[in-house]
Amino acid sequence: MEDIVVFDNVAKYFHTHSGQMLLRDRLFHWMRPAPRFYALRGVSFAIRRGESLAVVGQNGAGKSTLLNIATGLCLPSEGTVEINGRLAALLELGSGFHPDLTGAENIRINAALLGLRRRQTHQRFDQIVEFSELGNFIYEPLRTYSAGMVMRLAFSVAVNVDPDILIIDEVLGVGDQSFFQKCLERILEFRHGGKTLLCVSHALNTLEGLCDRGLWLDHGRVLKAGPVQQVVEEYKRSNGVAQALTSAQTVA
């Protein structure tokens, strides 16, 4: 089996307090470079075709940075990244959605952004609308939709793009139970089709059901990698200890 995503000793840093992007700040920082903040450091892993990886960690651990690098949105500062296949990123559902356009118009734009071709978009249009269960609302402007309806629309486009690699960043928490189930089924179906999944979530139980491998990030470094149950188990335990400590301190 071939490796579909390979991270080799990847680091990503940003310059802290680099000010605004104005001429005076730029000149100032050109003369005195700002200190670096490492969002990721020495991260190496490989995902093979058909595998799925869950990334866990606390807020600010570098999970989203890792996904953004995997998607090709930003380049690593150090190390190399290799990706073979078409990605569909659910980093933020509904990228490019506009409230004044109708659901149907937004579907087309979003599909084009996610990499569908003209003919594919026409072919899958009905399928997308059907999956969203929005019925005739699809011809109403997006600003008349509820948050749940927007999420349904966005998710329906994303799962119908049919990518080689699906990247999901904490987007499964919205929507009602039945739609959530439907999405999960769709993702599992996708997994059984031999596609690759890269997933970030704080819903640890969902992750255990969806993924077979886990990666625990802490302050930009890999703390543990291995079978998802083990990683999630240990992550939970460390959180439990941390929680116990805080509550103990509160009591004291």
Contact set with another protein (CB under 8 A): 14-15, 20-23, 26, 68, 71-75, 83, 86-87, 89, 91-92, 95-96, 98, 100-101, 105, 108-109, 112-118, 121
Please check whether residue 215 is in contact with residue 201, taking contact to mean a CB–CB distance below 8 angstroms: no
Shorter beta-carbon distance to another protein: residue 118 or 237 = 118
Q: How far is the CB of 150 from another protein (least distance, A)?
A: 14
223 by Cβ neighbours in 10 Å (0-12 / 13-18 / 19+) ranks as: middle
Shorter beta-carbon distance to another protein: residue 119 or 192 = 119
Q: How far is the CB of 234 from another protein (least distance, A)?
A: 32
154 by Cβ neighbours in 10 Å (0-12 / 13-18 / 19+) ranks as: buried
Shorter beta-carbon distance to another protein: residue 11 or 113 = 113
Shorter beta-carbon distance to another protein: residue 24 or 192 = 24
Shorter beta-carbon distance to another protein: residue 91 or 197 = 91
Assign 53 to helix, strand or coil: strand
Q: How far apart are the first and last CA of the chain?
A: 55
User: The sheet that has 3-15: what strands, in order across it?
Assistant: 36-48, 3-15, 78-83
Please check whether residue 196 is in contact with residue 166, taking contact to mean a CB–CB distance below 8 angstroms: yes
95, 158, 175, 192 from 182: Cα distances, Å: 22, 14, 11, 15
Q: How far is the CB of 245 from another protein (least distance, A)?
A: 35
Q: How far is the CB of 238 from another protein (least distance, A)?
A: 31
Q: How far is the CB of 207 from another protein (least distance, A)?
A: 22
Please check whether residue 171 is in contact with residue 139, taking contact to mean a CB–CB distance below 8 angstroms: no
Shorter beta-carbon distance to another protein: residue 54 or 93 = 93
Q: How far is the CB of 90 from another protein (least distance, A)?
A: 10
